[in-house]
Structure 1
Amino acid sequence: MEHWTLNPLEFNQVREMVKNRASSQLGKEKVAEVTPSPSVEEVKIRLQATSEGMDLLRLKGDVHLGGVRDIRSSIRRAKIGGLLSEADLLDVASTITAGRKSKSLIRQVEEDTAPLPILRGLTEQIESLDHLEKRIEACIDDQGVVTDQASPVLGKIRHTIGQIRQQVHQTLNQMLRSSHYLKMMQEPIITQRYDRYVIPVKQEYRTAFGGIVHDQSASGATLFIEPESVVQLNNKLREQELAEEKEIERILRQLTSEVAEEAVSLERNLSILAEVDFILAKARFAYDMKAVCPAISEDRTMRLKKARHPLIPREEVVPIDVQMNEEQQAIIITGPNTGGKTVTLKTIGLFALMVQSGFPIPAEEESIMPVFSGIYADIGDEQSIEQSLSTFSSHLTSIIRILQVIDNHSLVLFDELGAGTDPAEGAALAIAILEHVMDQGCLVVATTHYSELKLFAHSHPLAVNASVEFDVETLRPTYRLLIGVPGRSNAFAISSRLGLPAEIINEAKKHLTSEENRLEEMITALTDDHKEAAAEREKAEELREEAEQLVEDLKKQIDVWEEEKAQIREKARQEARRIIASAQREAEEVIRQLREWARARPQEMKEHQLIEAKKRLDQAVPEMKLPNKVKSHTAKAQTIEPGDEVFVHSVNQKGVIVEDLGEDEFQVRVGILKLKVHRREIEKRVSGTKNSAPTPSSSIKRSTDHVRPELDLRGKMVEEAIIEIDKYLDDSVLAGYKQVSLIHGKGTGALRSGVQEFLRKHRSVKQFRLGSHGEGGAGVTVVELR
């Protein structure tokens, strides 16, 4: 048996979908040839190539290799001395052009933006054959005609041909205009027969007209005659045309020879372009199907998030979540017919085949897949009339072949395991088969109707129940997969819903064993618990989203306040500079007047006295610095109790005291959030007093008493450090520091790089450098503030 069950899992249909997205015939062949690989390393490389193709499409839009032609037969003919036609040579040139453009396209993508190692490695191997491309394009035009410029000889021959044709037409036109010949002609036109210029003449004038008859009409009434006056001209014309054909053949043979010389390079380029087209076909499939390349696990962990079968229309498919690992080795799926059990089974197997072929899967980013040594499936009714096999026999034959080849890295899929025979014996056989497969170490997924298998999955430590949901109200399956919940038979519920009398249903229930009743009760309870948990989870998700939105709004508000603070500080600086400039101008004016006074009374004033006076004036200039200390938010000596309304300065929001935590700390509820804050960060709100919320400009002031000339960031993540640095630099500016030190340590250098990248964009940083020998060296960044 093959390692891969391709047909029952519909892998060939998916492969055809990818194939249709290839641009060239060579790319389509590559897709058609691909099969799943059992090698972890090869699968990783395949998925990496697909991921690079997806990145390229994201950065450059859809990239087509339509210029690639299948020139393999042309190359072979050239190598053995055959002659390539104009169309063959144009295909060679087109393929060279496609290779050059592909190489250029990848080079346009910056490595910092997308490394693309596989695609770069492939395209960099494409050999530039510009000389051959230009040579072909110079000799053959877009219509596939050898140009006059292909050789001087050809140009001369065609010029001669043009002159002779002109002479022939002039001679024949004179005859057409002659009244003597006009009556003899069927039509006054010039035409050709067998590459000779002729005139249509009436049959009765054959002798009078003269010349060579080349053809006649079907009725015989018209003869196509070459007049004697143009016979020699037509002969010369034919000679030149033969010379033209010979020269064209010589040119094509020369070009064919040049193709043969580059045959190895052309074949290599062709192979590379086929591989690139194959990668891009997978990327286009990913784009169209909203598919991803999953991570590859080393420990047989499988986690599919929102997995969608690619052959079911997107508007109809119901996503499923599946998880398997060493502790959850088997999934037993139960539920009604047409409820989606087989689709779930096929989705799991198909995704395994797709991943190991390097295809992306329609699922979410966090999906993880292992690499299996083989994927075996027994799916569908394979009853064979020729072999006189029943459904049960057919399934069992397939299962026996599977059991002979599986190992501990196999994925085994059973559809309706044990069906087609006596229920008791079928269930017992199904349990035995499952235990054997699990003992081999395989991951196994099975669908069944047997209640015994529900109990098996419930009691076995490595197995788990699952079911496809059925809506009793609408009597329709929802196709949702419920992990951990076995499927209910729903027979009684459906019967009641359809109107079967209650006494008949109650009588039927009496025929169930106590174990069957307990099982149904357990399933009902599990289903109810699952629905309740799903509702709670949905509610929790809504609350989490609301909390995240509130935090985001708060961050935006803080950003606005920070911007306002920066504008206020800048405005203060500008005002200070204006005042200082005004004082300096006034001082200069005083000095000027003193100098004039000194010149008027030189005996009373010396130059050094003027200098001293200027110095005193300079010292008198006011220093317009921002205050070093800003009054911090310190709560008044008020009694604060649970239930009091307060204003929380750290988030600039109103809140309510929930609990006194002791040691001047309180738990405060702000919106849906609960915060732990110190007494100094809150201010009790009293109705009718002035203890209202401060304006934004006052709420963002910080105390600068505690600001030190250095900040220790060691042990912090880059994101944490950046938040702390931003606050620290603002406080340092307020404190009047011109230079501060950021201690980040040496380590791997990641923190230092992140810190310095942030400093390059900070509004308060004039410049920065690494510390010198006495300042901490590479473990410290010294920052000069504006």
Structure 2
Amino acid sequence: MKHVLRVLEYEKMKKQLLEHVSSSLGRQKIDQLKPSTDLEEVQLWQNQTFEGSTVLRLRSHVPLGGIFDIRAHVKRAKIGGGLQASELLEIASTIYGGRQVKKFIETLVEEEEIKLPLLHELVHAIEPLTDIERAIKQCIDDNGHVLDSASPALRTLRHQIRSYESSVRSKLESITRSSNTAKMLSDAIVTIRNDRFVIPVKQEYRGAFGGIVHDQSASGATLFIEPQAVVTINNQLREAKAKEAREIERILAELSEKTAEFADELLINVETLADLDFIFTKARYGKAVKGTKPSLNDRGYLLLKRARHPLIPGETVVPIDVELGGSFSSLIITGPNTGGKTVTLKTVGLLTLMAQSGLYIPAEEDSEMAIFKQVFADIGDEQSIEQSLSTFSSHMTNIVQILKKVDHESLVLFDELGAGTDPTEGAALAIAILDDVYRRGARVVATTHYSELKGYAYNREGAMNASVEFNVETLRPTYRLLIGVPGRSNAFAISRRLGLEDSIIERAKAQIDADSDQMEKMIASLEESRKSSEQEWKEASSIRQEAERLRADLVKEMEALEREKERILQEAEERAAQAVKEAKEEAEWIISELRELQKEGLAVKEHQLIDAKKHLEEAVPKLTARQKQVKKESAKKNPDLVPGDEVKVLSFGQKGHIVEKLADDEYQVQIGIMKMKVKKEDLQYVDRPKKVETKPLATVRGSEHHVKPELDLRGERYEDAMLRVEKYLDDAILAGYHQVSIIHGKGTGALRKGVKQLLSKHPHVKATRDGGMNEGGLGNTVVELK
């Protein structure tokens, strides 16, 4: 594995990753980073990176400052060891940093209402530990010095120390300022030797001050003397400082004990912060390389869209499209040594390792990566000077080791397969190796400049040719990967561009055998066809986009018209309802008047009945001119309605379907369980189940009776329909149909249900399904026959 990580430049990629780390905790995680071969683990890592990227997109910064690797400190405190002030300060700082990160993530989830389940679960494990943080901060300042306020005893001792120091300095400064002693001193200063205050005295005056000599200059001309007058005070100062040191040691030991009490919680916090720093480091790196989250699979399928090698500067890298593991599992990249083939190989390999490490890959959205159990690579000149191996021997030694381990869950990368030996033997060996790896089910990307391998993919199932495009005009590779087109040598074209005489080139061409010449011509033709296809595809794409835009505009206009029509009909229905209500009220008033006349014992005369009838007729709601116009327009738009068509009855506002045509302008319509006669002008066409043509008309064997590939039951009575279905199935089986359609319409669903029940029990029915969007939908049942 180390060999693969080295040749695919995985460690160089990790150095790029380290540029985005926030703490030594994250740095340690990156140092330990290795690709995983477990799909679930990789998916978890990728989801963590996705959540980290989401946070950076929303906030651009994560508060991860002030965090240290305190694990060694905590473990020492846990076994009873004492901690230094600086170590305790790092512990307090890390506790504070963890609490800040926890608050940051929890606030983000609440305010933005976004889901960050993995990050939220991680920060939930962080313990605030405010008590120990407060205890440390009350005793130690930001520079790592123990404060006077750490204890009353320490405050007293430091007061004494300052008093003794002041007294000593005062006495010594009076000596240095004295005119009597000035000539005895090398310099009029007070200094410190062996942690005691002294003055510099000339050698010849050493006995003038008494006291203790602590040091002398390099020349011996000056002695640093503690005068007898300050020896007592210096002793008191020394004793006070010793007491101070013991008190500081006691305070630090007490804080160390407090740390030990929360050792387990602190270690969990540190591990969590390491994970968080690592996640946000991956997210920042993904943003830096313009990476995306790939889809993952364990089927060995790989699809890279505009993939870029992360170690090549963005302004020079050329994106490539690569697919592997779908219709072919071996990709053979042929062509001259122009530098593009090896980059392609390394891009595929490195991006695979990055994806399996939970990193975003520098490719476009919708790229897909496979999780391989093993990745093998034989790239570049691996010649060993110590072993005195040739280039071919070096490659072959590596390939032998690969072939011992490769299986169906492997990705194998071969660079210049078979190179370094006789071309004929090398090409034959390369073909044999590729065949062997293919039989084992591995995914292979191989590069070669042997012309014999250009035809390999044409003769092998599961193999595909590819090449790196070369611009003969500029004499440079474009680095574009062309799938399906083998590479050309371009040697003659390049030589001609460089000025080689045509006569020499023609003599060289004459040396090439017919097969090689035919192969080069075929490749040239393929390249021309590809360029032509690309141009046509661009033009077609442009036309399609314009058509889609026009279609979208038309759909919007139609939707607006439909909404306007619905609004007009709604208004008409509301006015009609109001008119009906008024008519009922008028009718009730008329009936009430007639009853009053009857109560008075008066006979209702003929002319009174005529008047009442007139009032009733006048109370019947009349359609407005606009309503009549809308109904006429709807009727005109209707196609010729046939049984089975879905329609809307405008006066009721309900949908149903045509049962049968009664007259030129009248139809029988079924709405739910109710059938009624409706005028054509009161109907609005909605939909028509489409017939499915699966086969041309067939003839029942042994007869002249023609059987259609579908049976239309719309408008049939239930019993008759069931008999027709049974007979039709027999005829269809005799005719040799494998699939037929039974059109029963939607309606109340009774006919459809009966057909489904009959089909489920029929011995020659293999399977059934509802019609698709272009097959009539629920109004059609597609039957697969045995």
Q: Structure 1 length normalisation: TM-score?
A: 0.69
* Letter paired with 1:362: P
Task: Please report how far the alpha carbon of residue 405 of structure 1 lies from its aligned counterpart in structure 2 after TM superposition.
Answer: 0.8
Structure 1 residues 212 and 491: CA distance shift in structure 2, 3 A? closer
Tell me: CA distance 1:469–1:183, structure 2 relative to 1, closer, same or farther (3 Å). Answer: same
1:144-166 deviation per Cα after TM superposition (whole angstroms, max 9, x unaligned)? 11001111110111112222223
Aligned to 1:135: 135
Residue 3 of structure 1 contacts residue 376 of structure 1 at CA under 8 Å; is this kept in 2? Answer: no
Contact map agreement 1:20 1:28 (CA 8 A) in 2: no
Structure-2 residue corresponding to 1:59: 58
Give the match's secondary structure for 2:405.
coil
Q: How far apart are the structure 2 equivalents of 1:158 and 1:630?
A: 105
Count of matched residue positions in the alignment of Structure 1 and Structure 2 = 592
Q: Conserved in 2, the CA contact under 8 Å of 1:332 and 1:464?
A: yes
Name the counterpart of 1:536: 536
Which secondary structure does the structure 2 equivalent of 1:328 belong to? coil
1:244 matched to 2:244? yes
1:433-484 CA-partner distances (Å, limit 9, x unpaired):
1111111111111111222211110232311110001111111111110011
Residue 546 (structure 1) shift: 4.9
In structure 2, distance between residues paired with 1:400 and 1:414:
12
How far off is 1:3 after superposition?
Answer: 9.1
Percent pairwise identity: 52
Q: Does 1:309 align with 2:309?
A: yes
Q: How does 1:591-610 map onto structure 2 within 5 Å?
A: none
Q: 1: distance between equivalents of 2:336 and 2:376?
A: 24
Aligned counterpart, 1:433: 433
CA deviation after TM superposition for structure 1 residue 412, in Å: 1.0
8 A contact 2:22–2:65 mirrored in 1: yes
Q: How far did 1:246 drift?
A: 0.8
Moved more, 541-550 or 214-223: 541-550
Task: For residues 618-642 of structure 1, give each alpha carbon's deviation from its aligned partner in whole angstroms, at most 9, with x where no partner exists.
Answer: xxxxxxxxx998998999xxxxxxx
1:420 matches 2:382: no
What 5-or-longer segments of structure 1 have no aligned partner? Answer: 566-626, 636-660, 665-704, 713-786
CA shift digits 1:562-614 (9 cap, x unpaired): 9xx9xxxxxxxxxxxxxxxxxxxxxxxxxxxxxxxxxxxxxxxxxxxxxxxxx
On the 8 A contact 2:63/2:100 being kept in 1, the answer is: no
Q: Deviations over 1:33-81 (max 9, x none)?
A: 1212211111111111111111121122132533221222222322333
* Native 8 Å contact 2:298 2:372 kept in 1: no
Alignment of 1:181-260 (within 5 A): 181-260=181-260
Which residue number in structure 2 is paired with residue 14 of structure 1? 13
1:289 paired residue number? 289
**Aligned pair in 2 of structure 1 residues 362, 205: CA closer, same or farther (>3 Å)?**
same
Partner of 2:114: 114
Instruction: Give the 3-state SS of the residue equivalent to 2:285 in structure 1.
Output: helix
Match runs of 1:83-162 below 5 Å: 83-110=82-109, 113-162=113-162
Q: Secondary structure at the match of 2:413?
A: strand
Cα 1:451–1:208 change in 2 (3 A) is: closer
Is 211-220 or 443-452 further displaced after alignment? 211-220
CA distance in 1, matches of 2:379, 2:484: 23
Change in Cα spacing, 1:516 to 1:182, as seen in structure 2 (3 Å) is closer
CA contact (8 A) 1:184 1:209 kept: no
Q: Secondary structure of 1:166's partner?
A: helix
* 158-167 vs 240-249, which moves further: 158-167
- Assess if the C-alpha contact under 8 Å between 1:378 and 1:398 holds in 2: yes
> Counterparts of 1:315-714 in structure 2 under 5 Å?
315-546=315-546
- The whole-number CA distance in structure 1 between the counterparts of 2:530 and 2:128 is 63
Flag the 1:394–1:185 CA change in 2: closer, same or farther, 3 A.
Answer: closer
Structure-1 residue corresponding to 2:695:
none
Tell me how far apart the structure 2 counterparts of residues 540 and 461 of structure 1 sit (CA, whole Å). Answer: 31
8 Å Cα contact 2:196/2:234 also seen in 1: yes
Residue 423 of structure 1 deviates from its aligned partner by 2.0
The alpha-carbon distance between structure 1 residues 364 and 131, as it changes in their structure 2 partners (threshold 3 A), is same
Residue 263 (1) aligns with residue 263 (2) = yes
Q: Distance in 2 between matches of 1:127 and 1:628?
A: 74
- The residue number in structure 2 matching 1:46 is 45
- Structure 1 residue 554, shift from structure 2 partner: 8.9
The alignment partner of 1:110 has SS state of helix
CA deviation profile, 1:242-292 (whole Å, cap 9, x unmatched): 111110011111111222222222222211211111111111110110011
CA contact (8 A) 1:181 1:209 kept: no
Do the aligned partners of residues 711 and 119 (structure 1) sit closer, same or farther apart at CA in structure 2, a change above 3 Å counting?
farther
Taking the aligned partners of 2:202 and 2:430, their CA distance within structure 1 comes to: 95
Gap change, CA 1:630 and 1:504, over 3 Å in 2 = farther
Summarize the Cα distance change of 1:113–1:205 in structure 2 as closer, same or farther, 3 Å threshold: same
2 CA distance for matches of 1:110 and 1:304? 33
Instruction: Provide, for residues 698-728 of structure 1, a one-character-per-residue CA deviation record: whole Å limited to 9, x for no partner.
Output: xxxxxxx97988999xxxxxxxxxxxxxxxx
Deviation of residue 541 (structure 1)?
3.6
Residue in structure 1 matched with residue 590 of structure 2 by the alignment: none
Match of 1:766 in 2: none
Segments of 5+ residues of structure 2 without an aligned counterpart are: 565-624, 641-648, 657-786
Question: SS where residue 109 of structure 2 aligns?
Answer: coil
1:531 shift after superposition: 0.7
Answer yes or no: is the 8 Å Cα contact 2:308–2:347 preserved in 1.
Answer: yes
Q: Tell me, in whole angstroms, the C-alpha distance in 1 between the residues paired with 2:239 and 2:48.
A: 59
Counterpart CA distance in 1 for 2:38 and 2:651 is 59
Asked if structure 1 preserves the Cα contact closer than 8 Å seen for 2:63 and 2:97, the reply is no
Contact in 2 for aligned 1:199/1:226 (Cα 8 Å)? yes
d(CA) in 2 for partners of 1:175, 1:203? 17
The 3-state SS of whatever aligns with 1:6 is helix
